[in-house]
Structure formats: C-alpha cells, structure tokens
Amino acid sequence: MLGLAILAVVRVEHARPLFSMSRQAYTIEVIHSDGTTEHLDVNADGRACARLGTSQQLSEACRLALNIDPNVIAAAALGQLNHVDTPALLALILRARMSNDSAICEKGGLEGLRLARCHEAVVGGSPTFSDSGVTIRIP
Amino acid sequence: MKTVWTRPARLRVAGGVLGLTLTLGAAPIAASAFDQRAEHCGAWNPTNVVVSEFDIAAAREIWKYFPAMGMAPDLAASESPMHVVVFRDGFDSTGVSVRASVSKLNGVVCVITSSDEVTIFTDVSMSGAIIP
C-alpha cells in the first residue's frame, strides 16, 4: 500500500529541449531562365533542395528553412547573421513567410536592415531571391 | 569586443564583436550558487552578477543561444563542449581583463573550454537570445 502511494507521487520529469529540431515541409517556386515556373515541394528530408544545386546559397537556405526553430536556423550563420547575407538570413525569411509569422524574424536574432527585409517579406507580395542564375519565389 | 584569457597564466585580448545590448531579464543566480568555473570569468567580484550558466555540447552551438552574437572564429571552428556564463549588464572587468580601465561592460558572455581557457565576449546582442 505504501509502495503504491509512493509510486503515485514519484514522477519522472523530462526537461523540455530548448531548441526544436522539428522540420516542416514547404513549397516554393523555381523560376527558370525561360520564364517558366516550377513548384518545388521540399519535404523534411530536404532532397528537393538539390534542384537548386547551381546556387549553393539558395540550396543551403532551402535546407535550413525546413527547421521550424528560428534559433536553429540563425545559428547556421555562425555569427555573421547581421553582417553579411547568409543562407541563414534567407532561410529565416523563408520560414517567416511560410509561417506567416514576422515574430520569427526577431526570434532568429535579425537586426536592422535585415530585420526590416524579413518583415517586408512576410507582409508584402511574393518575394523572389536570385543567385547564380537560379531564382526562387516564396508563394 | 572579445577578451580571451586563460587563468591563471595566459592573458590575451582579441578583436571586436558587435552592437546592441539589452539588459537580461532572467533572475540572477545567488553569489554562492554559481559554478566554480564562473569564478574564472570574474564572478568572484560581487559586482558581477551571474544571470545564467549552462553547458553546450559544442562551441559552435553558441549561436543557437545568442543568434545575433557576432563572429568568433575560434568558436565557429570548434566542436568542443563549453561552459557558458552570462552576466548582468554592468560587468566590472577590473582585475579580470587586461583592459583594467574598462568597467561597467554590458552584454557579457563568458565561455570556458574544458582546458579552462576563458573567453569573454562583451556587447553581445541579446536579440533572439535564449538563456536557459
């Protein structure tokens, strides 16, 4: 009886992880040089990002944007987040736009002009990004 | 700004980091409660209030906690675990930094390697920071 009573009050608490490693699929549009567009479904494995292979920046951003935790995305910039345009910046913009949540821009640590660009991308029309001859549009 | 030193022997100063600092909102840790390693960062000075300290599995993960912290090539290249100590604004570097005349520093984050090399970052931006 006593044993049962003790069992009733002892509970194992698991610490909640600080960072979510969850991923979320999304769709972007790839605009080809002839003006045609292609929907790119990016599943959690990120394999579809290889389609942007000629642009290392865009393909890396494509993979990073699968993460739902803005801190995990931002950390990939290794301290350059607010200094140069990194794939992490684009990935934060992608994630914020796709989640329709401009708070992601702040949560990811963006500041100044890059924060403003992120906000604009969330509330404005479908933003496009180009690099190395590849253009993507976030619906 | 980054100050790096190894206690007690080596002492060196490295180049600058960035901008904006915000006062940390978390409750400070009582002076008697801080990890012994925090002392290497200057926690022995009662003026320097430890807000939080925690371990990270790899140095390059520091940006998950402080995404707007500037560049730190040593950390970016390191997969080594580190202990992180976050101080309340108003850090007094007297006696802990070669820049003895600089006191009341803000945005102070100290990292300690397993070999007890101590690096102090100042003016670390708290934008997007997650402090356990």
> Is B85 within 8 Å of B53 (Cβ atoms)?
yes
Above 50 in pLDDT, residue B21?
A: no
Query: Which residues, in sequence order, are bridge partners of residue A134?
Result: A131
Taking the CA of residue A49 and the nearest CA in chain B, the distance in Å comes to 23
Rounded Cα distance, B63 and B82, in Å: 13
Asked whether the beta carbons of residue A111 and residue B68 sit closer than 8 angstroms, the reply is: yes
Number of Cβ atoms within 10 Å of the Cβ of A94: 28
Q: What average pLDDT does this structure show over B107-123? A: 91
Structure tokens at A122: 């969330």
Q: Do B67 and A111 touch (CB under 8 A)?
A: no
Using an 8 Å CB-CB cutoff, list chain A residues near B65. Answer: 18, 71
pTM for this model (two decimals)? 0.80
Q: What is the pLDDT of residues A42-73, one digit of tens each?
A: 998 999 999 997 899 999 999 999 999 999 99
b/e sequence A59-78, b meaning 16+ C-beta within 10 Å: bbbbbbbbbbbbbbbbbbbb
**Has residue A26 got a pLDDT over 50?**
yes
Tell me whether residues A71 and B68 touch, CB distance under 8 A: no
Tokens (6 digits) for B4: 């790096």
Measured CA to CA in angstroms, residue A72 lies from A75, B66, B97 at distances of 5, 11, 32
Interface-testing mutation among A104, A111, A115, with chain B (most B C-beta atoms within 10 A)? A111
